[in-house]
Amino acid sequence: MNRASGNQESGSDGRNVVVTGVGFCLPGRTEPVFTADDMWNVVSNGQSCLKRDEVYYGSVGLTQEMFDERLPDIPRFFSQHYTAAHRFGLVSLAEATADAGLPLYGGALSEAAILVGRGGVDANVDTYRSLLNADPGNTTAAEAMELFVAAQQAVTPSDVALVQGALTRSHGPCYTVASGCASSAVQIGNAWRLIAQGEVDVAVVTGVDVFNIDLIQNLERLLGVAQQSYDSVRTTGMPELLPSFRSLMRPYDRRADCINHGEGSATVIMESREHAARRGAHVYGQVLSTAMTRDGLANPLACDETGAELVTAVRRCLGDRWHLDDVPYVHGGSDGDVVVTTFEANAVRELYGPDSTVLVTSQEGCFGHNGAPAGCLGVAMTLMMLERGEVCPTANCEQPAEGLPFDPVPGIRTRALDFDYALSFNYTLGGVKNAILLGSPEAV
């Protein structure tokens, strides 16, 4: 087994880990995306679900009726205090367990690991304010209990995981990781290790994020004021400061000039192969290995555009067992930021050579840059592509940027590809690089 200090382990030891269920709560064209079929209908056609009221933002539009339909047994006393992050995460969990054929309450989930990747706290701002501004001397007992329940569910660092653990009655590991846009990718690695090492048979991994539009827009205004001085620090490798709402994001396109944000959640159910086989579960594919590195820069807002650490993560992920020649597809993490595309292109060029035929696509243009769910989304979408033998196009990419060392599959049609192995990349502001190796159900 290949071992690297500070990284997830990669190798062939331990039990095989498979994915048996996926579920979502994401922006859709007219209704939210909930199921694998909903997801495929969007990503296979390169559709964008971003524009809302002249603003390019991915809004889920989850109604109370939609929530209650999927989670009818949650007491109103608790659910009325859920933030959007709770609701999105619980819905995607319910959809994933249904897809996997697992009962939501008890059963195999009673001993499962419940792991959540959560990128920010924007959804909890109102709860923070209510608690900070509460006057104990003028608060009734009923009001105090309401504030207590809201605070316990929304302010504690492990809010989403604890709520999901309570719902599933799980006795297994239960915690939230905050590592920005790589949060759920990190949790995929943690779940993989827990199952491979025999600590649990089942792991539920959820990524969820909610961005505050007003906050981001005000940040843009502040950055506009600072733009002149920003030019002097551009050489530090900081990402470009791009507008988020005024135009459409276009990953890998020569016209790329912005990042659009989105909200929502994605959940994957991971199991040991033996456990999945015993219950006759449908297997989407395998999580074979994972590795994470960081650029090692002192500036927490910086990014090394050489892609060197991404190359390191991929090589550690592959170890001595797997080879790049067998990996013809990469699910990329580009969000339209030219800096991200630059280091990703440099890494692919180093790994595959300047004239490779590898396909690299990103579906962030479908739902927006949604932060923490990206890892779960990458795993789910890539395994669906493996299963169908089709690579989905890069949404909103119509005119590929010059000099890309890969094919971004522009347009709105899938590309046929018979493949058994794929990589999925995720990144976090601050230089974190995460790579996950995925395989078809029978890949070895």
pLDDT digits (tens, 9 = 90+) for 369-388: 989 999 999 999 999 999 99
**pLDDT greater than 70 at residue 418:** yes
**pLDDT greater than 80 at residue 357:** yes
pLDDT at 22: 98
Least confident interval from 3-12, 144-153, 177-186, 226-235: 3-12
pLDDT tens profile 324-350: 999 999 999 888 888 899 999 999 999
pLDDT at 152: 65
Least confident interval from 31-45, 118-132, 133-147, 230-244: 230-244
pLDDT at 20: 98
pLDDT tens profile 203-250: 999 999 988 777 777 766 666 655 555 454 444 444 444 556 778 999
**Higher-scoring residue by pLDDT: 360, 128:** 360
**pLDDT greater than 90 at residue 429:** no
Query: By three-state DSSP, how is residue 288 classified?
Result: strand
Burial readout 257-289 (b: 16 or more C-beta within 10 A, e: otherwise): bbbbbbbbbbbbbbbbbebbeeeebebbbbbbb
pLDDT tens profile 271-330: 999 999 999 999 999 999 999 999 998 887 778 899 999 999 999 999 999 999 999 999
**Higher-scoring residue by pLDDT: 443, 242:** 443
Task: Work out the mean pLDDT of the chain and round it to a whole number.
Answer: 88
Concatenated DSSP letters of 207-229: EEE---HHHHHHHHHHHHHTHHH
**pLDDT greater than 90 at residue 113:** yes
* Greatest C-alpha distance within the chain: 71
- Which pTM was predicted? 0.89
Taking residues 358-371, report their average pLDDT.
94
- What are the tokens at 215? 């906050």
pLDDT at 257: 86
**pLDDT greater than 50 at residue 176:** yes
- Which domains are seen in the chain, by residue range? 17-214+246-439 (3.40.47.10)
**Higher-scoring residue by pLDDT: 12, 37:** 37
CB contact set of 251 (below 8 Å; sequence gap of 6+) = 332, 334, 335, 336, 341, 362, 364, 365, 394, 395, 396, 397, 408
User: Taking a C-beta distance cutoff of 8 angstroms, is the pair 169, 106 a contact?
Assistant: yes
pLDDT at 154: 61
**Higher-scoring residue by pLDDT: 337, 43:** 43
pLDDT at 219: 66
Centre a 10 Å sphere on the Cβ of residue 179 and count the other Cβ atoms it contains. Answer: 21
